[in-house]
Structure 1
Amino acid sequence: MNTARLRDRVAASDPGLLRLAAGLRTVAAIALTLAVLGLAGVSVRHLVAGAIAAMVATFAIREKQRTAQAVTLALGLPLALVSLSLGALLSSRVVAGDLFFVALIFCAVYGRRFGDRGTALGLIGFQVYFVSLFVGATVSGLPELYGVLAVAFLCSAAARFLLVPETPAGLLERLREAFRARLAQLVSAQLGLLDAGPEEIDEVLETVREGTARLHETALMIQGRLEEGTADEATARLVQRRIADAEIAAERLGLLLLTARSAERADTLTLHLPGAPAPRAGRMPGRDEAMAQVRRDLEALRLLVLRPAAARSGTALSQVRNRLLGYREEDRLPPAPPAVQDVFRGIGETARAVLGLRIALDGPQDESDDSPETARSREELDAEDAVIDAGEADGAAQEELTGLRRPTTRAAVQVAVGSSLAIVGGEFLSSQRWYWAVLTCWIVFLNTSSTGEILVKGYRRLLGTVLGVLAGIVLAGSVGQHTWTAFALVLVLVFAMFYTAPLSYTLMSFFVTAALGLLYTLLHTYSLSVLVLRVEETALGAACGVIAAAFVLPVRTDRRTNDLLVTVLERLDEVTEAAVDQLSGGTPVELLDQARDLDQALADLRAATQPLTHPITPLRARRDTARYVVALLETCAYHARSLAATAELLPTHPSIAADPRLRRAGRRIGDNIAAIAAHVRDEHSTAAVETGPSIASLLDTEVPGTPRFGRVTDRVLRHVQRLDETLVGLARPLHVPVSAPKR
């Protein structure tokens, strides 16, 4: 049991074990290279060159298919040999070498427009040229270095394809396990809502927020791997559907628990806005036995999520599953206040989503112990599976940017200018190690799109470098001239660097700098002045990058975030319009793909707002506004996803049917989204957000005797109503006028 819990925790903390695999693969490549070169009796300088080359050849490749990885690795070796040769040839020609270095940097960044392969080859070319400068490559020493590079690339291939292999299907399987583990963690966090008092509720609620966000993050990661990791398009769409169902059901269960313990219905924003206070309440209302039953059922739900399909659990687990699925039937709900009964319904819907997820991931299950309620749930799931269309959705044509408007071209020009400044400034600091400033300037432009992002990344790299210098002093003094001890510590630091890279750029920079201190020791060039120079060159390179980004074809953070905000609003409008149209009786379309496009656009916006929300920003009011806007958009996305998932149930779910009157409500939502987007594009826009009667009142019929809501469920109405209210709330921080409806 302890082993299983540890495995679940590791899977949840590192979805797909991506960080662990990256660290192990890189360390294996370096260790194998050092072993081969050590047996060959090469010098320490060549050992250092081989270790760095193996690391570069391993981490540069990002393609998902093994064949594509092999092709890129094969192309990378001759490119590395050419780059190394030019580095050695131009080492004594200062001006020509500097000009070529700038040209190489431009080409390396421009190569990103050609996808993963172009990015990888550009990275290999740049980094190997840097290696030639670092180890002081000469023309006479090229034959030995050619052999070192060949060994490094071969060892990288062995580590990638033999020692730490990774297949798309295997990675997807690990991501599925991570989703299960994170779903179970979220249910555990929701359990805390039952007993948390006024003093603990905010902390528990923050844990629920984090669990919800982590579950969503894993769902997006799975979405990005479905095409390569599944046998066919139909299977990919089925898994996508079940992942979305489970995510939505779990998030809704958290809202129902908050509402049940509150004096009023909980706002969806509470689950998305960091620091938002919990709804005013004491303990959950209702009799003690109802609360105890909710607790037992949540624990049972967590067990259902975690228990492997192959586990032989007898009839006990089947009985638990049958009981939870029974809550989907009104006559099976325990006696309790309405809000608590909603929690039981939410548990039942989440159990159904877990059942669907298990069938999609693990195949057909034993049905011998099914209750009638479980059998009906299986029939619904089978009916939904049958209507999944295996055809691919048509992608909307996007404008092809050209010239300096193309992001890769603009970034290449910026980094070339910044690197030129770094070369000039670096030469003043040190004629021997000026390239550290260039490396920093290059790195701060990686995966950044605005001046603010570059500024934050430069700050983080400088902070990590300063701390790494202190660690390097301690490690270098401890290791002395013990070569293999130093290399062993370098391997540990390299693993830590790759394992922490997605979590903290500052930590990654810390481990890189500490490892460099050891490499300097091995090259007999270590001194305190060298490490101090490393800090100075890093600060210079970061400053040059910021200057280039700010004055050469600048992309202001405001402009970048506004563009992404418009994209999010457009995706939100597409999902909402399509879902409402389908719920109104329109032609079915692929909604979940559109919902995931919305999620990806929102993730891009969230990343772009980091400079605005960073703790060091002096504009506190602006930081709070950015967080609030992103939280509101996450709330909108949740309701849009829920509408999309509900709309896709129309052909199979007996309690949901189309209602044409929903189109009227959808028009108001669409108009309000368009008004907000128009104001973001042009602050002088006269468009205004319209408020008015509740969504439910818009569905009133003028025909006497007609049911008010037809067969549209209350859940659909709640999602549409909350989406409408959230859009009005979004208008205020964006300074969009809000007007009453025209009469």
Structure 2
Amino acid sequence: MLKRVFVASDPGRMRLRFAARAVLGIGLAVTVCLTTGQSLAGAVTGGLAALLALFTVADATVRGQAVTTALLPAVGLPVLTAAAGLHTFPVARDLAFLAVVGAGVYARRWGPRGHSLGVFAFMTFFMAQFLHATPGQLPELYAAVVLSVLAAAVVRFGLWCYERRLPPPVVPAPPAGRGLARVTTRQAVQATAGAGFALVVGQLVSGQRWYWAVGATWWIFVNTASRGETLVRGFRRFLGTVIGIGLGLAVAVPVHGAPVASALLLAVCVFGIFYTAAVSYTWMMLWVTFLAGLLYGLFGVLNPALLALRAVETGVGALGAVLAVLFVLPVTTHATTHAWIQRALRCVHACTSEAAARLAGAEGADPAARAAELEALLGRVRLSVAPLVHPLNPMLGRKRRARRVLALLDDCAREIRGLVAVAADPVASHDARLAAACWRVEAAVEALTGGAGDARGDARAATGRAQEAEPALAHLHGLESALASLAEPLRTPSGSPLVGA
């Protein structure tokens, strides 16, 4: 796990930039809150608002990111008002919390913006429970949210807007559908049911910290789209929490809220959260748990018993999520994995067509954009297939096939990157053999996505000529070979898909 985090590639040092900018933005937000007379509660609220503004906003363009950031207070402040106003009405408060959970997950159907606003709404309600916010605190908390989102925006879009110098990220939308066939709708129902279980059992465990269980359920559902993904994420969340509690016992408890030491450690936690989020959910949760312990230290209530209670509440929340995905409108791993692989394969064909058009002299063809889309889709495929390749998966045959599929899709991506690089060369010219090679790629993709034809025939015969072909043809033949090899692991001898159940 250490090797995965610290040796993982970081093209363009994007994760490093992401983490460093977060420390700067959140630090500025907290500083603004404190210098304008905010209390510790206001500064903590502001720090969380800035963290969410920098972490969750992921629109495809800088303009879209700015719009979503501006909308965060419009969603968060009404939720904060409701949470504080219902503080003395437990039943109404609990029902409102569950409504926010369901609405927040359902909002994912509107893409990255819906996802960001849903997360912000949930975490605003969660923070109100953390602070035991009352109506009398609302003016201060309103100011903290607005000032902190503004500070985060100044850093993100002014002081350090590295996105303006990069191609806009491609964020694939979740698989579509109608009614209960839509993944986001089913997950909204699941998350609400799981959160309801966590809320009830969490309150039986602790009348003061029950919201930890609801938070655990919520975050297990974020960025997952199937039963398998949710189960794996639940395991990783609990593991990261336990390790983080160990770190809290070793470091946060002895520090016991010392201002300077706590501030430095909080900055380390923020950096760790942002730096590890893309490569290890377990590590991210370790830093989140450590950060929570430091905050409780600042409030003067941190002790080993509190950290043990957090572990129990996290376990309750994980159990709620597991029960929900298993028994409430389950979304199978096959349903999502099949959809993402199909989209990735169609994108392979689109990349090939755009590259061929560019080599033929079409100025409007843009294979680079398609290649970026393919990388994003392959990232989603890896997330979906993760339950099948997990070390604890006992189905060894399916695990081997899933790993083979991932390796071959990576081969496709590598050949596409090479083809795009050749197409970008202004002296590269069109070869008549490109049309035939592109046709074979199209036939191979149709065989894999439509279930008709055979992806293995001419493709492998053509591969033998790759060394004698020009660079573009060499990449196309490599692509044909990878697509032909995919036919076997994607289907069992009976023709069933890679994953079932």
Instruction: Give the TM-score of the pair, scaled to structure 2.
Output: 0.82
Q: Report if the CA contact (8 A) 2:179-2:185 is conserved.
A: yes
The verdict on how the C-alpha distance between 1:657 and 1:62 changes in structure 2, with shifts beyond 3 A counting, is closer
The verdict on how the C-alpha distance between 1:694 and 1:86 changes in structure 2, with shifts beyond 3 A counting, is closer
Secondary structure at the residue paired with 2:212? Answer: helix
Q: Report if the CA contact (8 A) 1:676-1:736 is conserved.
A: no
Once the two structures are superposed, residues 236-269 of structure 1 have per-residue CA deviations (whole angstroms, 9 ceiling, x without a partner) of xxxxxxxxxxxxxxxxxxxxxxxxxxxxxxxxxx
- Cα displacement (A) at 1:667: 5.6
- Aligned equivalent of 1:603, options 379, 386, 389: 379
The verdict on how the C-alpha distance between 1:117 and 1:596 changes in structure 2, with shifts beyond 3 A counting, is closer
- Cα displacement (A) at 1:523: 1.8
Aligned residues: 483
Q: Report if the CA contact (8 A) 1:106-1:415 is conserved.
A: yes
- Determine the structure 2 residue equivalent to 1:403: 179
Instruction: Report the Cα distance in structure 2 between the residues aligned to 1:727 and 1:114, rounded to whole angstroms.
Output: 32
Instruction: Report the Cα distance in structure 1 between the residues aligned to 2:444 and 2:392, rounded to whole angstroms.
Output: 34
- Determine the structure 2 residue equivalent to 1:180: none
- Determine the structure 2 residue equivalent to 1:106: 102
- Aligned equivalent of 1:134, options 130, 135, 138: 130
Q: Report if the CA contact (8 A) 1:636-1:723 is conserved.
A: yes
The verdict on how the C-alpha distance between 1:52 and 1:657 changes in structure 2, with shifts beyond 3 A counting, is closer
Q: How does 1:113-512 map to 2 (within 5 A)?
A: 113-162=109-158, 164-170=159-165, 172=166, 222=167, 224=169, 401-512=177-288
Instruction: Report the Cα distance in structure 2 between the residues aligned to 1:53 and 1:586, rounded to whole angstroms.
Output: 49
Once the two structures are superposed, residues 362-395 of structure 1 have per-residue CA deviations (whole angstroms, 9 ceiling, x without a partner) of xxxxxxxxxxxxxxxxxxxxxxxxxxxxxxxxxx
User: Does 87-96 or 114-123 show the bigger shift?
Assistant: 114-123
Q: Report if the CA contact (8 A) 1:437-1:537 is conserved.
A: yes
- Determine the structure 1 residue equivalent to 2:487: 731
- Cα displacement (A) at 1:23: 2.9
Once the two structures are superposed, residues 190-215 of structure 1 have per-residue CA deviations (whole angstroms, 9 ceiling, x without a partner) of xxxxxxxxxxxxxxxxxxxxxxxxxx
User: Does 615-624 or 435-444 show the bigger shift?
Assistant: 615-624
Larger RCO (alpha carbons 8 Å, 6+ apart): 2
- Cα displacement (A) at 1:639: 4.3
Instruction: Report the Cα distance in structure 2 between the residues aligned to 1:399 and 1:14, rounded to whole angstroms.
Output: 28
User: Does 49-58 or 538-547 show the bigger shift?
Assistant: 49-58
Instruction: Report the Cα distance in structure 2 between the residues aligned to 1:457 and 1:599, rounded to whole angstroms.
Output: 22
- Aligned equivalent of 1:518, options 271, 276, 294: 294
- Determine the structure 1 residue equivalent to 2:448: 676
Q: Who wins on radius of gyration, i.e. which is larger?
A: 1
Q: Report if the CA contact (8 A) 1:109-1:408 is conserved.
A: yes
- Determine the structure 1 residue equivalent to 2:498: none
What one-letter code is carried by the residue in structure 2 that aligns with 1:532? Answer: A
Q: Report if the CA contact (8 A) 1:731-1:737 is conserved.
A: no
The verdict on how the C-alpha distance between 1:479 and 1:677 changes in structure 2, with shifts beyond 3 A counting, is same
Instruction: Report the Cα distance in structure 2 between the residues aligned to 1:524 and 1:566, rounded to whole angstroms.
Output: 53
- Cα displacement (A) at 1:35: 3.4
- Cα displacement (A) at 1:413: 2.0
- Determine the structure 2 residue equivalent to 1:214: none
What one-letter code is carried by the residue in structure 1 that aligns with 2:135? Answer: V
- Cα displacement (A) at 1:513: 0.8
- Aligned equivalent of 1:590, options 354, 365, 390: 365
Q: How does 1:51-130 map to 2 (within 5 A)?
A: 51-63=47-59, 68-130=64-126
What one-letter code is carried by the residue in structure 1 that aligns with 2:140? Answer: E
Secondary structure at the residue paired with 1:548? Answer: helix
- Cα displacement (A) at 1:83: 1.8
Instruction: Report the Cα distance in structure 2 between the residues aligned to 1:641 and 1:509, rounded to whole angstroms.
Output: 33
- Cα displacement (A) at 1:561: 1.6
Instruction: Report the Cα distance in structure 1 between the residues aligned to 2:272 and 2:249, rounded to whole angstroms.
Output: 18
- Cα displacement (A) at 1:612: 1.3
- Cα displacement (A) at 1:462: 0.9
Instruction: Report the Cα distance in structure 1 between the residues aligned to 2:63 and 2:438, rounded to whole angstroms.
Output: 47
- Cα displacement (A) at 1:653: 4.5
Instruction: Report the Cα distance in structure 2 between the residues aligned to 1:698 and 1:485, rounded to whole angstroms.
Output: 63
The verdict on how the C-alpha distance between 1:404 and 1:691 changes in structure 2, with shifts beyond 3 A counting, is same
Once the two structures are superposed, residues 157-205 of structure 1 have per-residue CA deviations (whole angstroms, 9 ceiling, x without a partner) of 444345x4315334x2xxxxxxxxxxxxxxxxxxxxxxxxxxxxxxxxx
- Aligned equivalent of 1:691, options 441, 446, 457: 457
Instruction: Report the Cα distance in structure 2 between the residues aligned to 1:467 and 1:678, rounded to whole angstroms.
Output: 46
- Aligned equivalent of 1:535, options 265, 289, 311: 311
- Determine the structure 2 residue equivalent to 1:557: 333
Once the two structures are superposed, residues 670-710 of structure 1 have per-residue CA deviations (whole angstroms, 9 ceiling, x without a partner) of 4444333344xxxxx8x5555369746999xxxxxxxxx9x
Q: Report if the CA contact (8 A) 2:358-2:365 is conserved.
A: no
- Aligned equivalent of 1:44, options 15, 40, 46: 40
Instruction: Report the Cα distance in structure 1 between the residues aligned to 2:56 and 2:389, rounded to whole angstroms.
Output: 30
The verdict on how the C-alpha distance between 1:528 and 1:673 changes in structure 2, with shifts beyond 3 A counting, is same
What one-letter code is carried by the residue in structure 1 that aligns with 2:431? Answer: A
Secondary structure at the residue paired with 2:102? Answer: helix
What one-letter code is carried by the residue in structure 1 that aligns with 2:148? Answer: A
Instruction: Report the Cα distance in structure 1 between the residues aligned to 2:200 and 2:365, rounded to whole angstroms.
Output: 55
- Aligned equivalent of 2:432, options 649, 658, 676: 658
- Cα displacement (A) at 1:580: 7.6
Once the two structures are superposed, residues 710-741 of structure 1 have per-residue CA deviations (whole angstroms, 9 ceiling, x without a partner) of xx946566555555544443333334669xxx
- Cα displacement (A) at 1:132: 0.9
Secondary structure at the residue paired with 1:140? Answer: helix
What one-letter code is carried by the residue in structure 2 that aligns with 1:153? Answer: V
Q: Report if the CA contact (8 A) 1:34-1:51 is conserved.
A: yes
Greater fraction helix: 2
- Cα displacement (A) at 1:528: 1.6
- Cα displacement (A) at 1:136: 0.8
Q: Report if the CA contact (8 A) 1:688-1:736 is conserved.
A: no
Indicate yes or no: 2:345 matched with 1:569. yes
Instruction: Report the Cα distance in structure 1 between the residues aligned to 2:68 and 2:161, rounded to whole angstroms.
Output: 16
What one-letter code is carried by the residue in structure 1 that aligns with 2:447? Answer: A
Identity %: 37
The verdict on how the C-alpha distance between 1:428 and 1:635 changes in structure 2, with shifts beyond 3 A counting, is same
Q: Report if the CA contact (8 A) 1:582-1:658 is conserved.
A: no
Instruction: Report the Cα distance in structure 1 between the residues aligned to 2:265 and 2:459, rounded to whole angstroms.
Output: 67
Once the two structures are superposed, residues 459-498 of structure 1 have per-residue CA deviations (whole angstroms, 9 ceiling, x without a partner) of 1111111011111122233223423432332222222222
- Determine the structure 2 residue equivalent to 1:741: none
Instruction: Report the Cα distance in structure 2 between the residues aligned to 1:618 and 1:423, rounded to whole angstroms.
Output: 32
Secondary structure at the residue paired with 1:432? Answer: coil
Q: Report if the CA contact (8 A) 1:66-1:167 is conserved.
A: no
Secondary structure at the residue paired with 2:432? Answer: coil
The verdict on how the C-alpha distance between 1:31 and 1:729 changes in structure 2, with shifts beyond 3 A counting, is closer
User: Does 553-562 or 148-157 show the bigger shift?
Assistant: 148-157
